[in-house]
């Protein structure tokens, strides 16, 4: 069985952290929650540092600073009406999976956020990967109604992994 996530490591700290196994576990849980086949889909995750993600953030979003996670859906899948579920993609063949998109995650920002929030980095990174994958699947948080749908899915997916609601301890 081919992995769902193709992990590209640019920063060796991600290798030592176990990003590949963590990303696969997070994405498989998200796909199962959404009742999408595990086979027939693929996503790429880049494990990088703040310097690299700052360049990507500047190039693609016009924001020349680091961020925790970025995602690039392979196609527009968003719902037409705020607060509605997006149209989820059909799986491709096992040997030619449907490409959902690409994600990048930055070591320093993730480590700083996890420490500031008083949570294990693995829990925080799992949440960010689920968040990024949901973006690749057409979920967004631009409108409050869309954010509510996306956050509900995040909380439910993380619960299947035994992780707490990441929004409960949200700063005011």
* 52, two tokens: 């690299």
With 0-12 / 13-18 / 19 or more C-beta atoms within 10 angstroms meaning exposed / middle / buried, residue 48 is: buried
Annotated ligand binding at 131? The verdict is yes
33 annotated as ligand-binding:
no
Give first-to-last CA distance, the chain, whole Å. Answer: 44
- Is beta strand 5-9 parallel, antiparallel or unpaired with respect to 41-48? parallel
Tell me the C-alpha distance between 150 and 156, whole Å.
10
Q: Which residue numbers belong to the known binding site?
A: 131, 135, 141
Q: Which residue numbers belong to the known binding site for Zn(2+)?
A: 131, 135, 141
């Amino acid at each position: 069985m081919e992995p769902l996530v193709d992990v590209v490591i640019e920063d060796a700290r991600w290798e030592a952290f176990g990003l590949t196994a963590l990303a696969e576990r997070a994405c498989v849980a998200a796909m199962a929650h959404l009742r999408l086949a595990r086979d027939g889909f693929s996503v790429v995750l880049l494990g990088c540092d703040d310097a690299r993600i700052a360049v990507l953030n500047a190039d693609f979003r016009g924001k020349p600073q680091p961020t925790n996670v970025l995602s690039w859906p392979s196609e527009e899948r968003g719902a037409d009406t705020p607060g509605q579920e997006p149209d989820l993609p059909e799986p491709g063949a096992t040997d030619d999976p449907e490409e959902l998109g690409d994600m990048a995650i930055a070591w320093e920002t993730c480590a700083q956020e996890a420490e500031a929030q008083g949570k294990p980095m693995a829990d925080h990174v799992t949440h960010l990967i689920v968040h990024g994958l949901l973006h690749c699947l057409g979920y967004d948080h631009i409108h409050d109604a869309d954010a509510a749908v996306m956050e509900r899915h995040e909380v439910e997916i993380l619960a299947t992994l035994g992780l707490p609601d990441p929004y409960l301890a949200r700063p005011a």
